[in-house]
Amino acid sequence: MNNNYHFFLHLVPELRPNLVGLKLMECFSQDKGEMILGFAAARGVKTNYKQYFIRCSVLPSFPCLFLTKDYKRARRNSVNLWEDLYDQEVVDVFVYQNERAIGIKLENGYTICFKMFGNRSNILVFKENEVKYIFNQKLKGDRAIHESDLQRDLNIDWNKLDAKISSILPTLGKLPAIYLKERNWENENLESKKQLFTEMLATIKQPKFYLIKQNHILKLSLLPLVDIEREFDSSIDAINSYFIYGLKNFSIDREKELLLKEIERECKSIYSYIDKSEARLNELNTSTRNQTLGHILMANLHLVPERAKEVVLTNYETDLPISIKLKEDLSPQKNAENYYRKAKNEQLEKSNIESNIAARMERLVSLEESRDEIEKIEDLKKLRRFKLEVFQEKIHVAAEQFKSFEIDGYMIYVGRNAKNNDELSLKFAKKNDLWLHARDVSGSHVVVKHKPGHKFPNHVIEYAGGLALYFSKRKTESLAPVIYTEKKYIRKIKGSSDGQVIVSKESVLMTSPIKPE
């Protein structure tokens, strides 16, 4: 709430006595996205008399004010701004009505406006309702703002007590909503909600200020929420402490928050995968196995009519009748062999599922350990190195789903089946990876991982093409075509079957199948 209208209602009355009567002596910038305004009662030989400084950061990542009686300007890399405003006396400091903006009115009719609109924060100078100067030139839309636009008429809308809390009074921001929800707001009746809201507004008006931690991010609050770090009676002391902490820690706190959210998302994804995989295992273990169906057919070949689509035989395991589907163009023995082939594939599928579940369980343990480690890290560089380690492990776990090969430092991955092909091509592969497939026949998708700054060598492409042929219906041909392209030219049409993709741009390679060692 450091840039909140209700906080500014506390800050401005405390700031006003420090500025009114002083003159603007200097405006300068020595850091990107930051401006310093220096005020004083009179100019001195070395230092000005009765100085006061406003340091304003309008960086999208950390917009905030810092107020101090002492500030040392850098000797170099510092540029003066708005010099025609110098030596003008401050006649008033005010908050724009129902807006996240503070105005400093000068005697010549200019108003310096600190527009603290989150990632669109800026410092503007108005005269006669028009913008004369703008600090952050990238926010071009700010040139069209009229000073009168920053004065809003808003009232509490008691008819919206059952709607979003922010719609009752839009100036509140996010923290009051959290405060009310902690007090069982959603389950209260309208009369109780009105009372809670009124009590909260009364609390906000009290000159008490808190630095709190929310999701690892330090925030300035007018409400005593959980995880209070510090408490202040002065709004200036509160915002200055927040500013100093923020400059040092905001980046690491933000990256911690994002990293922990990413870990949480991955954990949810793993739990979902495990649930689905265990359900599939249960299905494979409880349904009549293909091997059993093959045995039943082989034991009763003489009872199977020619070109039958289905036959009812006795299940030797249960002594009950069982209906077995057949392919009419196959003999009874070939149908039995077909079920044996399916049984072999089922065993491979079960083995893969069990292996993948075990790998993901290990990954979950690793993620929990990483979560604890992240909490302890206080250095940004160390956190970023740790992030690379965490997600390098994620890539390794993901890669275990596919057949993998290596040639001269290039990793090549091959899909195991149609569904696995989709996983490889659409989720695992990155846009600059090389994608290959045997032309005009069914087969595995093949992906060669890209090395930044390197082109794919011809012999690597040929080797990957040979693998694409070997894991396709062209594996017995001596020479056959393979299409290859960057992954960014691969897309999937909604509703298409597993493994089916559209290639928008391709090259063709003639090569021979390569059986991997």
- Count of beta carbons in the 10 Å neighbourhood of residue 105: 19
Rama region for 12: left / alpha / beta (φ>0; ψ in -120 to 50; rest):
alpha
Question: What integer pLDDT is reported at residue 355 of this predicted model?
Answer: 83
CA-to-CA separations, 320 to 290, 317, 456, in angstroms, rounded: 17, 8, 60
Tell me: pLDDT of 301 over 70. Answer: yes
Q: What is residue 115's predicted lDDT score, i.e. its pLDDT? A: 96
Residues 103-111, mean pLDDT to the nearest whole number:
95
Model confidence pLDDT, tens digit, residues 478-488: 999 999 999 99
User: Can you give the residue ranges of every domain in the chain?
Assistant: 5-150, 158-252, 253-400, 402-517
Q: Over the stretch 261-289, which tens digit does the pLDDT of each residue have?
A: 888 888 998 899 899 888 888 887 776 67
| Residue pair 469/513 in contact by the 8 Å Cβ criterion | yes
Instruction: Kindly state the tokens that stand for 223.
Output: 């409400």
Give the highest mean pLDDT range of 3-17, 311-325, 373-387. 3-17
User: What is the model's pLDDT at position 471?
Assistant: 95
pLDDT at 468 (0 to 100): 95
Tokens 């405390």 appear where?
Answer: 14
Between 394 and 120, residue with greater pLDDT: 120
Q: Whose CA is closest to 483, among 467, 503, 499?
A: 503
pLDDT higher for 250 or 326?
326
Per-residue pLDDT tens over the stretch 491-506: 998 888 889 999 999 9
Q: H or E element: which one contains 493? A: none
Tens of pLDDT, residue by residue over 385-426, are 877 777 766 655 566 688 889 888 898 999 989 988 998 999
Judge whether residue 322 has pLDDT over 80.
Answer: yes
Is the pLDDT at 198 greater than 70? The verdict is yes
CA dist list (Å): 61 to 115, 119, 142, 232, 378: 15, 7, 19, 24, 19
Q: Where are the alpha helices (DSSP H) in 400-470?
A: 418-422, 458-470
Question: What pLDDT does 384 receive?
Answer: 80
**What's the whole-number mean pLDDT along residues 242-262?**
79
Q: Which of 5-19, 43-57, 263-277, 379-393 has the highest mean pLDDT?
A: 5-19
Question: What pLDDT, on the 0 to 100 scale, is given for residue 495?
Answer: 86
Q: Quick one: what percent of the chain has pLDDT higher than 90?
A: 44
Q: What is the pLDDT of residue 464?
A: 95
The predicted structure's pLDDT at residue 393: 62
**How large is the average pLDDT for residues 91-97?**
96
Predicted confidence at residue 288, as pLDDT, reads 62
Measured CA to CA, the distance from residue 136 to residue 60 in angstroms comes to: 11
- Judge contact between 57 and 64, C-beta under 8 A: yes
Mean pLDDT of 97-114: 95
Tokens of 369: 């350990």
Q: Using the predicted structure, report yes or no on whether residue 38 has a pLDDT greater than 70.
A: yes
pLDDT above 70: residue 106? yes
Q: How far apart are CA 12 and CA 102, in angstroms?
A: 8
Q: In what order do the strands lie in the sheet with 79-80?
A: 62-68, 52-59, 34-40, 23-31, 79-80
Q: Which residue has the higher pLDDT, 281 or 439?
A: 439
Tokens of 364: 């979950």
Q: Span 41-53, mean pLDDT?
A: 84
Q: What is the mean pLDDT of residues 127-156?
A: 92
In the predicted model, what is the mean pLDDT of the chain?
88
Q: For 5-150, CATH number?
A: 2.30.310.10
What CA–CA distance (Å, rounded) separates 259 from 114?
Answer: 32
Enter the pTM of the model: 0.57
For the record, the structure tokens of 275 come out as: 């649930």
